[in-house]
Amino acid sequence: MATLLVVTVLAYLYGPVPAPNVPQPIGRDCVELHLYSNGYHSDIGAPASIFPQDHPFRRMYPEAQSFLIGWGDQAFYYSDGTDLLLGLDALIPPSPSVFHIAYNAAPSSAYLGPNDDTAVAVSQEGARRFVAFIDRFLVLDAQGNPIKTSNGKVVGRSAFLRSRGSFHLLQVCNQWMARALRAAGVNVNARAAWLAGPLIRQVRQVQPTACPIPPSTSSG
C-alpha cells in the first residue's frame, strides 16, 4: 500500500502534462519575459507595454518600462526569509497571499541577492494570456485600484498588493510562477516546481530563451 501511494504521488508530481494550447513565438511575434531567481524564489519581469495602458500596474508606475512581479505568502514575504517556522506555517492553509510589484525589472531584481536571469520568449498571444492570469489574482478596490498592503522590498519603487488565492504546499511561489508561465504558453510542469532552480531548468529545456529577432518589447 505504501509503495502504491508513493508511486501515485510521484506520477501526479512528475507525470507528463498536456502542453498549453497557446501559439509559440515566431519571428517578430515574440515578447521576452525574464525569470529572475536566487535559487529559492522567483520573480518575473514583463514589459510594461504588454499591459493595457489603463492597467492598475501602469497607473501605479506610469514611467515604468517593465515590471518585476512576484507572488507569495504574505507573512513570509514580508520577512527576511530566514524564519524556518514562519516558512513551514505558510504551507498550512489558509495563508493569505500578496503580489510584490516593482518597476523596471532588471535593476529591481537586485533585491533577490545573487540571482539568475533567464529570458523566456513567448508570443503576443502568450503575453496577453500571461496578463490575464495576473489579473485573475489581482484584487482591486471599488475604484479599480490595487490594494497596497505594505511598502515593497525595493525601496521607493515597489509595493506589496493584495492577491486572491491561498499559499500552501501545492501552491507555493514557484508553482504559481510556473502556472503563470503555462498561461503564457511555456510547457512546464507546475506541480513539482517547489524551488526556482528546477523551474528554470525546465524553462531552458522547453522554451526559446530569446526572441529570434530582437523584440520590440523586452523586460530586461
Count of Cβ atoms closer than 10 Å to residue 79 Cβ: 13
**Closest to 121 measured CA to CA, from 35, 49, 209, 184:** 209
pLDDT for the residue 218 = 62
Of the two residues 57 and 219, the one the predictor is more confident about is 57
pLDDT at 95 (0 to 100): 86
Residue burial 175-196, b: 16+ Cβ < 10 Å; e: rest: bbbbbbbbbbbbbbbbebbbbb
Name the average pLDDT for the chain.
89
Residue 143 has pLDDT above 50, yes or no: yes
Looking at residue 12, its pLDDT comes to 52
Give per-residue pLDDT as tens, 110-132: 999 878 999 999 999 999 999 99
For residue 200 the three cell numbers come to 528554470
Q: Cβ(154)–Cβ(36) under 8 Å?
A: no
The string of pLDDT tens digits covering residues 171-181 is 899 999 999 99
pLDDT in tens, 56-109: 999 999 999 999 999 999 999 998 877 777 777 667 778 899 999 999 999 999
CB 70 within 8 A of CB 153: no
Cα gap 152→193, rounded to integer Å = 25
Grade residue 5 by pLDDT with cuts at 50, 70 and 90.
Answer: very low
Q: Can you give the pTM of this predicted structure?
A: 0.90
What span, in angstroms and rounded, lies between the C-alpha atoms of 174 and 192? 9
Residues pairing with 171 in the sheet: 168
